[in-house]
Amino acid sequence: RVKQDGRNAYLFYDDSMLTDTQRALDLDGRLRQAISNNIIEIHYQPIFDLETNQIVAAEALMRWNDDKLGFISPEEFIPLAEKNGLIHKLGEIAITQACHQAARWQSIMPIKISINFSSVQFRYCEKLLAQIQQGLESSGLPANRLDIEVTESLLFNHTQDVITLLNNLRKQGVELTIDDFGTGYSALSYLQKFPFDKLKIDRSFLIDIDQNEPNRELVGAIIAMAKALNIHVVAEGVETRWHTDFLLEKECDYGQGYYFSKPLPADLFEQLLSKARVPQSVA
Ligand code: C2E
Ligand code: MG
Ligand code: MG
Ligand code: MG
């Protein structure tokens, strides 16, 4: 098809572009519905201490299983929600649900809960702080059980408000993690300039690492550098025994991935936690 624009030039577009636009429109409407019908869920993926094999944390991952459209990946709806502004509402849902679940789980095991925040949510730092405060207060979850995951893009183009907020959270005891480390503008200065406790090595580095010598070197170097700066390291996308052995050898602190467990709905995660619970020694 051909479309004429105002300057007498022709712009070509094909059906796939039309379909993309239609899909975005459909998703937009359905996402609003999903939010007001309360069908957005949070699933939980355990994070393990590689040395002790204990669950130390859970990452909260958003799930949208639409009545009409079926399962929609967060890789698709999060970027959309960042554009249409729904991300702020989704953020509130994640904080509320995850803090309440984590607070309940403390009596089974004192795990941390990691919640993802996109850079767009930091455009309104005051609102974001209020949401986090509200999540902690209403659930009773101690601040030092909460871990906030942000990506490097937040740091690349940050405002003073962002620095103030991160410092404020850190002072309250909230942990800060750089997610997807190595995929953005990984300036090493970020690690010193901002009060991060942890970095997560992106899954893409592990995928073919058993056959990829440069990636092995890179992962080893990231872990060594983090150690030198007193920053803990989580590897995401741990899928094989080979991965865990390699990471242990490089003294990576934590691992998360299908080798251990996929993200689970709250009730199944709770079962996993109960089974993994270390029996208290009788004094
Ligand atoms: P992320 O924060 O980097 O989350 C890790 C992703 O890797 C998750 O995908 C998880 O299911 C997947 N994963 C974990 N272990 C493995 C593995 O061993 N193999 C493979 N192939 N994948 C693994 P998911 O749940 O589809 O989430 C995708 C992204 O969507 C997240 O990446 C995060 O950036 C975003 N996201 C998810 N939930 C939220 C949320 O509540 N708020 C915000 N702002 N973003 C979210
Ligand atoms: Mg994450
Ligand atoms: Mg990640
Ligand atoms: Mg990732």
Say if residue 12's pLDDT is above 70: no
Instruction: Dump pLDDT digits (tens) for 119-147.
Output: 999 999 999 999 999 999 999 999 999 99
Query: Of all protein residues, whose CA lies closest to atom 17 belonging to ligand 1?
Result: 237
User: Among the residues of 173-212, which ranges form H helices?
Assistant: 188-193
In the reported structure, the alpha carbon of residue 20 is separated from the centroid of ligand 3 by a whole-number distance in angstroms of: 26
What confidence score (pLDDT) does residue 156 get? 83
> Is the confidence metric ipTM above 0.95 for this complex?
yes
Q: How confident is the model at residue 188 (pLDDT cuts 50, 70, 90)?
A: confident
Q: Which residues pair with 146 in a beta bridge?
A: 113
User: Which atom in ligand 1 lies closest to the alpha carbon of residue 117?
Assistant: 44
What pTM was estimated for this model as a whole?
0.92
In the reported structure, the alpha carbon of residue 148 is separated from the centroid of ligand 4 by a whole-number distance in angstroms of: 14
In the reported structure, the alpha carbon of residue 193 is separated from the centroid of ligand 1 by a whole-number distance in angstroms of: 26
Assess contact for 155 and 183: CB atoms under 8 A. Answer: no
Interatomic CA distance for residues 234 and 255, integer angstroms: 5
Say if residue 194's pLDDT is above 80: yes
Ligand 1 pocket mutation pick from 48, 101, 203 by most atoms within 8 angstroms of CB: 203
User: Which atom in ligand 1 lies closest to the alpha carbon of residue 238?
Assistant: 18
Which of 114, 111, 118, 104 shows the shortest CA–CA distance to 74? 118
Counts for the chain of helices (H) and strands (E), in that order? 10, 12
What confidence score (pLDDT) does residue 25 get? 85
Ligand 1 pocket mutation pick from 31, 48, 61 by most atoms within 8 angstroms of CB: 61
Q: Which residues pair with 46 in a beta bridge?
A: 58
